[in-house]
């Protein structure tokens, strides 16, 4: 019997199969880790965006108030304070109507008002939340200056 020159009688050994399986396993583990890191980054990005929207909303609400109302006793307090069960404790007059109560249940907002001059107030808004994926606590801060005669600037 003559063998064809194109056929080989050599097969893969068990060592070669183990090495190939190890290489595939390392690749799959790397892909899973990349997917996990990507999900954490996406969740952080969404939370950062939501925190910026909360800050802009609160600054907009402040600009609608009269000058005398921007320095009230609730000015240096938590607007949305986190409680132990990650729900809101609202310190404003209308707790059920806050727009971020259902959208961001793990977010807390603190507002601090200080007088810079007699006709200029500095307002600092800090949003704090805990990541669902990593468990880390994040804070985003925004500030604005409110002028008595309607001049406003935010950073």
Tens digits of residue pLDDT in 117-134: 888 888 899 999 988 888
Element (H, E) at 152: strand 152-154
pLDDT of residue 66: 79
Q: Is the pLDDT of residue 24 over 90?
A: yes
Q: Is the pLDDT of residue 59 over 60?
A: yes
pLDDT bucket at 26, cuts 50 / 70 / 90: very high
pLDDT of residue 93: 40
Tokens of 53: 């929207």
* pTM (predicted TM-score): 0.67
Q: Using CA atoms, how far apart are residues 137 and 77, in angstroms rounded to an integer?
A: 20
Exposed (0-12), middle (13-18) or buried (19+): which is 147, by Cβ within 10 Å? middle
Q: Is the pLDDT of residue 98 over 80?
A: no
């Amino acid at each position: 019997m003559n063998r064809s020159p194109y056929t080989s009688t050599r097969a893969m050994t068990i060592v070669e199969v183990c090495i190939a399986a190890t290489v595939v396993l390392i690749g799959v583990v790397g892909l899973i880790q990349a997917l996990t890191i990507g999900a954490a980054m996406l969740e952080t990005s969404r939370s950062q965006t939501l925190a910026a929207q909360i800050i802009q909303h609160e600054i907009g609400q402040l600009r609608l108030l009269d000058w005398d109302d921007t320095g009230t006793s609730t000015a240096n307090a938590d607007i949305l304070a986190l409680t132990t069960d990650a729900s809101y404790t609202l310190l404003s007059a209308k707790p059920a109507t806050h727009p971020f109560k259902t959208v961001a249940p793990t977010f807390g907002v603190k507002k601090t008002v200080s007088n810079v001059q007699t006709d200029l107030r500095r307002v600092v808004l800090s949003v704090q939340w805990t990541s669902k994926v990593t468990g880390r606590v994040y804070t985003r801060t925004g500030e604005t200056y409110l002028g008595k005669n309607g001049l406003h600037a935010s950073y």
